């Protein structure tokens, strides 16, 4: 595996390079101080992955990603960004430009060793997940087989009339959500609740962006918000989002309890609360993402009688979350990304 580290700061180039030394299968690691140099190196070499800082002189990260994607669709790109409102906006732009994932730029480390450890904790697992097929070949398990690729609905969804659609997604999520939501029907009258693993600030910017391309309004969730049909609610970053029925209304609650599956917000908690409120009338979907968040939530919803949909392996950026559901043999339908909006429209509209 060949990796390119792109950052104008020699401190960050060193920290990222040091953190990546433990990645199994790494055969070559080079660095570049700006996007222009990175562009030239990628044109000359067969790199598998690049980490690219967003803020750089000569050619910034967003421009570099746009230029790379004009001639190379295969290389995996992780952009680095600060955990600020401005950083969140630029991260969404970088993901729209073609970055596969993002990592937080560490600004509060007391020394270089701490900085390397923070980068390692944030970055290494993402590198491993994004390059897994390159390292070990295609997945050997085929417990999940496509059951829907357009046309007539599967039998278990033909007469299903859900009262809420709930979606869990992580790595590769912003572009995947964009692909789905731009094509959903404006006639959908049930609420849609989404958990996308993202830090605080980032979810607000993602909601703003999705609203511009989706026929339904998209909101970042807030405490005490009443769920309404025909609207989309994106879980607030760094807060768990759960639902409760109060005085005849379904109300959103936020909390900063312990992380679940190493994340907050967690799909598991949101799915479980939705099952408690809506029972078998919930329609859960697990999309691309790293890890296994959503597995326990799907178990709970399956037990109360909900049909489960997962994204297929081929169209997922990382098949961790949907793959975990497939391995547990609790999913009922596997759907390609290209057909996800269609199945949502047929079931929910």
Task: Quickly tell me which residue has 């009688």 as its tokens.
Answer: 305
Identify the three-state secondary structure at position 143: coil
Burial class (CB in 10 A: 0-12, 13-18, 19+), 161: exposed
Rounded distance, CA 12 to CA 28, Å? 18
Beta bridge partners of 125: none
Beta bridge partners of 28: 2
Q: Report residue 169 as tokens.
A: 């997604």
Rounded distance, CA 67 to CA 312, Å? 29
Q: Residues 309, 218, 330, CA angle at the centre, nearest 5°?
A: 15
Catalytic residue among 197, 273, 292, 316: 197
Q: In the chain, what are the domains? A: 2-136 (3.40.50.2300), 155-348 (3.40.50.180)
197 assigned to active site: yes
Neighbours of 8 (CB within 10 A): 17
Q: Are strands 101-104 and 49-53 parallel, antiparallel or unpaired?
A: unpaired
H helices of the chain, where? 10-20, 35-44, 61-71, 85-97, 112-130, 132-136, 155-158, 173-181, 202-213, 267-278, 295-303, 320-327, 340-348
Which of 282, 285, 196 lies closest to 239 in space, CA to CA?
196
101 assigned to active site: no
Whether residue 265 has a cis bond before it, omega within 30° of 0: yes
- pLDDT means per 10 residues, the chain with 349 residues, are 92 86 86 95 92 93 95 93 81 91 73 69 82 52 61 83 97 93 96 94 92 96 97 97 96 96 95 97 95 96 95 91 92 90 94
> What is the structure's pLDDT at 195?
98
> What is the structure's pLDDT at 136?
46
Rounded distance, CA 64 to CA 77, Å? 11
> What is the structure's pLDDT at 145?
60
Catalytic residue among 48, 101, 293, 312: 293
33 assigned to active site: no
Rounded distance, CA 94 to CA 81, Å? 10
> What is the structure's pLDDT at 62?
94
Rounded to a whole number of angstroms, the distance between the first and last alpha carbons of the chain is: 45
Do 200 and 234 meet the contact criterion of CB atoms below 8 Å apart? no
Rounded distance, CA 336 to CA 50, Å? 27
Catalytic residue among 17, 82, 129, 170: 170
> What is the structure's pLDDT at 144?
57
> What is the structure's pLDDT at 154?
81
Which of 246, 164, 244, 174 lies closest to 203 in space, CA to CA?
174
Identify the three-state secondary structure at position 271: helix
**Which contacts of 206-210 are long-range, i.e. CB under 8 A and separated by 24 or more positions?**
206/92, 206/174, 206/177, 206/234, 207/234, 209/92, 209/96, 209/174, 209/178, 210/177, 210/178, 210/181, 210/234
Rounded distance, CA 244 to CA 143, Å? 34
Identify the three-state secondary structure at position 142: coil
């Amino acid at each position: 595996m060949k990796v390119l580290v792109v950052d104008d700061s020699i401190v960050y180039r060193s920290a990222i390079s040091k953190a990546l030394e433990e990645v199994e299968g790494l055969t070559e690691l080079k660095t570049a101080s700006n996007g222009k140099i990175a562009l030239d190196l990628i044109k000359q070499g067969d790199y598998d992955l690049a980490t690219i800082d967003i803020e750089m002189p000569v050619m910034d990260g967003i421009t570099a990603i746009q230029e790379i994607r004009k001639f190379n669709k295969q290389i995996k790109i992780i952009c680095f960004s600060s955990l600020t409102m401005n950083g969140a906006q630029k991260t969404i732009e970088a993901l729209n430009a073609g970055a596969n994932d993002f990592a937080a730029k560490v600004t509060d480390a007391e020394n270089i060793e701490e900085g390397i450890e923070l980068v390692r904790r944030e970055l290494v697992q993402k590198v491993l997940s994004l390059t897994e097929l390159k390292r070990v070949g295609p997945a050997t398990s085929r417990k999940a087989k496509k059951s829907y690729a357009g046309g007539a609905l599967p039998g278990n969804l033909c007469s299903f009339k859900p009262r809420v659609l709930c979606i869990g997604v992580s790595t590769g999520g912003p572009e995947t959500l964009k692909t789905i939501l731009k094509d959903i029907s404006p006639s959908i009258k049930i609420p849609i609740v989404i958990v996308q693993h993202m830090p605080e600030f980032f979810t607000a910017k993602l909601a703003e962006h999705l609203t511009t391309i989706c026929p339904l309004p998209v909101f970042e969730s807030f405490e005490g918000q009443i769920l309404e049909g025909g609207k989309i609610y994106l879980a607030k970053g760094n807060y768990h989002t759960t639902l409760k029925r109060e005085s005849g209304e379904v109300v959103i609650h936020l909390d900063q309890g312990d992380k679940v599956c190493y994340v907050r917000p967690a799909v598991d908690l949101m799915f479980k609360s939705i099952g408690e409120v809506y029972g078998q009338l919930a329609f859960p979907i697990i999309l691309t993402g790293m890890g296994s968040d959503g597995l326990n939530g799907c178990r709970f919803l399956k037990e109360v009688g909900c049909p489960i949909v997962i994204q297929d392996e081929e169209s997922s950026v990382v098949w961790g979350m949907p793959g975990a559901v497939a391995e547990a043999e609790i999913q009922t339908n596997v759907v390609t990304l290209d057909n996800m909006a269609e199945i949502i429209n047929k079931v929910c509209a």
